[in-house]
Chains A and B, each alone.
Chain A
Amino acid sequence: MFARGLKRKSAEDGEDVEGGLAGAQAMPSYSLQRQSLLDMSLVKLQLCHMLVEPNLCRSVLIANTVRQIQEEMAQDGTWRVVAPQAAGRAPLDRLVSTDILCRSVREQEGERPGPDAGDGHTPDLVPGLATVPSAQALRSPQSSLWEVDSSRENRGGFQKSLDQIFETLENKTSGSVEELFADVDSPYYDLDAVLTGMVGSTQSGHGSGLQAFSSATAPPPSSSCRSDLGELDHAVEILVET
């Protein structure tokens, strides 16, 4: 009924060094739990009660937890990204789930987004990074490059979204929900880019196919979530066509 609390396991490091696949399979529950904790935390941070000012203490504690997980994942080197070959099918789900998250929070406060297309649990902002077979990522020759780039970017993306959230909490003017998303539009895109294996606009890309992706998802200058969604739809169309 209740999941066990997470604990660090020092023996894990040795196994990870040997081979990512073996390591991931040997300790799937820990990584998976950590992943779901990360997802849960991000959802908690963004699904605030928008009528009343969110509890700053709670937000700070959740944000610190997210940072902690993020740091550990970066340390473990498990901050992997979906390989471009595998990006075809899965990213559609991720784009959809982000869209749902975005839309449902905008519509009203507190309602949990609908279930993800692929998974049964709460929608993933960083969905299935662990569930997608890391073997694929390993086999891909670009995987190591992706790891480094995406981890740096993802960290920046996460950091930025956390910071944006704090700034917005502080500098709320009007229409707090729109405001919250207005400030986080570019990090959202970075997040999205990483999830779908696409490189952000700041990087030149690592393959011709990716060039098309990156240009399609370059963060627009507009500052409203609605226009972001428009771009998102555009990106989805492109992916569907390819």
Chain B
Amino acid sequence: MLLSLPALHLQTSEYHPLFQLPHGRLGPWCSPTGSPAPLSCETGCGEGSWILVCRLLVPTQVSLLSMEEDIDTRKINNSFLRDHSYATEADIISTVEFNHTGELLATGDKGGRVVIFQREQESKNQVHRRGEYNVYSTFQSHEPEFDYLKSLEIEEKINKIRWLPQQNAAYFLLSTNDKTVKLWKVSERDKRPEGYNLKDEEGRLRDPATITTLRVPVLRPMDLMVEATPRRVFANAHTYHINSISVNSDYETYMSADDLRINLWNFEITNQSFNIVDIKPANMEELTEVITAAEFHPHHCNSFVYSSSKGTIRLCDMRASALCDRHSKFFEEPEDPSNRSFFSEIISSISDVKFSHSGRYIMTRDYLTVKVWDLNMENRPIETYQVHDYLRSKLCSLYENDCIFDKFECVWNGSDSVIMTGSYNNFFRMFDRNTKRDVTLEASRENSKPRAILKPRKVCVGGKRRKDEISVDSLDFSKKILHTAWHPSENIIAVAATNNLYIFQDKVN
């Protein structure tokens, strides 16, 4: 059992109030007396409680046309479980994000497209289909561009998507590539006006002489149409590549961060942004550190953090000064001298930083570990989790094939009790902060049938390899899970593996 079980023995239909997980099942992890048995990775099935809900392929351009025809007949999502053997580069998923209710899941890919999935509505007849996501909307967010001054292409790859909290019937999201942020409005249209006097049903003008009566146009239901329109384009503010965007809790501003600068935007103003952090040295020859990620505090609209390539995190307060070059707090863990190597700095570079939902903690991901920091303690993290420490002896090869520069993301679950991050070989890892248990799962076609329970995986470090284990040298480093997302309130996760999107949920009895 992955997540912690309380000592109470509840009914099988009961859900844990916090984790919303079933428990109380008599199984290897729960003895009849009610006290949970210690977790053992060697036990057989019934071990992990994560099941594959669906595997979605980002629809390609060709299938996009047929998909729009099928939108009103999208009862079954099986049409998206195609067994494509090809995977074009443009289909590689580059970002995944749930919206604030978890009803929508957005993905961005290398081809500049955004695909939004919507959760299947619960129905009495098909209760087992709860948790499945279907394609809701697809649109081309960014196009490839060419910078004529520098003679360089600007990639259309979507680096990040962030949802705005819903304030009316439409959904809003920010999507960004290396240079430009766009605000998209996604809205539904399910009614259309009928009965115009001057136009007929096809929109052609009628001859006024033929009109004998007047009528009031009425709205009649039509097939659901989801349309996405770009409402704002925030361009020309970044010299370097944008790596993060973050919506402020005031819902009026957001920030975009590139390698050397962070800009603050107002949603209504696209031709100006305010620079709040600038670490570009006067002399570029002295450049030794770049910004790698940034995020606003979830509740305090004046605070934000940004991480660097040297493994440091800075908390800044916008009330202190207009240009937040001086941090309010500086988080850095002293280096472990016994682990020092030429790669120490590279593997300490933080690839992702995320505030907990509570706002009390931040989580950082560097190449080999995930760390949880208490905002009140700057000198070291409160928790460190090893993601794939077996790679520590392979750093030289990983440097050679550039894998050491892979930027893994990390996510919190809704209650901040479990953290998740990706690894290689399509593995992803979850760490329970309370029980200190962790599990490695795999997102792959071969190993998961729909509704089958995911089997925990184990990497064998050396010596004898057991039957189900995989040795370090057999890991496929081209299959990396960089992007994952966790539903804001339920135990549903989205895992992006190249061009596949896997959705897993906790098993429901």
Task: Tell me the A residues contacting B by CB distance below 8 Å.
Answer: 1-8, 33-34, 37, 40, 44, 51-53, 55-58, 60-61, 63-65, 68-69, 159, 162-163, 166-167, 169-170, 172-176
Contacts and interface: CB of A to CB of B under 8 A. Distances in A.
Contacts of A65: 342-343, 345-346
**Residue of A37, A58, A68 ringed by the most chain B CB atoms within 10 A:** A58
A166 B283 CA distance: 10
B406 to A, nearest CB: 10
Contact of A166 (B287, B392, B402): B287
B466 to A, nearest CB: 21
Contacts of B394: 2, 5
B327 to A, nearest CB: 20
A61 B152 contact: no
A126 to B, nearest CB: 16
Interface stretch (B48-56, B288-296, B371-379): B288-296
B151 A61 contact: no
Contacts of B260: 56
9 contacts: A2-B396, A2-B397, A5-B396, A37-B396, A55-B405, A58-B402, A63-B288, A64-B345, A169-B284
Complex A-B, nearest 5 residue pairs according to Cβ-Cβ distance, in ascending order:
A163-B285, A5-B395, A172-B150, A2-B397, A3-B396
B341 interface: yes
B152 A40 contact: no
Contact of A69 (B154, B342, B402, B473): B342
Contacts of B155: 52
B149 interface: yes
Given A34-B342, A68-B342, A69-B342, A60 B473 contact: no
B284 A170 contact: yes
If over half of A's interface residues share one DSSP class (helix, strand or loop), that class is named, otherwise mixed; here it is helix
B163 to A, nearest CB: 26
Nearest to B309: A57
B152 A5 contact: no
Contacts of A56: 240-241, 259-260, 290
Given A37-B396, A166-B285, A5 B343 contact: yes
Contacts of A68: 342, 345
B62 to A, nearest CB: 26
Nearest to B351: A57
Nearest to A8: B340
A61 B345 contact: yes
A108 to B, nearest CB: 15
Contacts of A37: 342, 396, 399
Given A53-B152, A65-B346, A167-B284, A60 B397 contact: no
Contacts of A64: 288, 345
A174 B149 CA distance: 7
A174 B402 CA distance: 27
A1 B473 contact: yes
Interface in B416-473: 473
A3 B394 CA distance: 6
Interface string B383-421: 000000000111111011010010000000000000000
B69 interface: no
B498 interface: no
A57 B396 contact: no
B99 interface: no
A26 B96 CA distance: 52
Given A55-B241, A57-B290, A60-B290, 14 more contacts: A1-B397, A2-B473, A5-B341, A6-B396, A37-B342, A51-B152, A56-B241, A56-B290, A57-B349, A61-B309, A61-B346, A63-B288, A65-B342, A174-B151
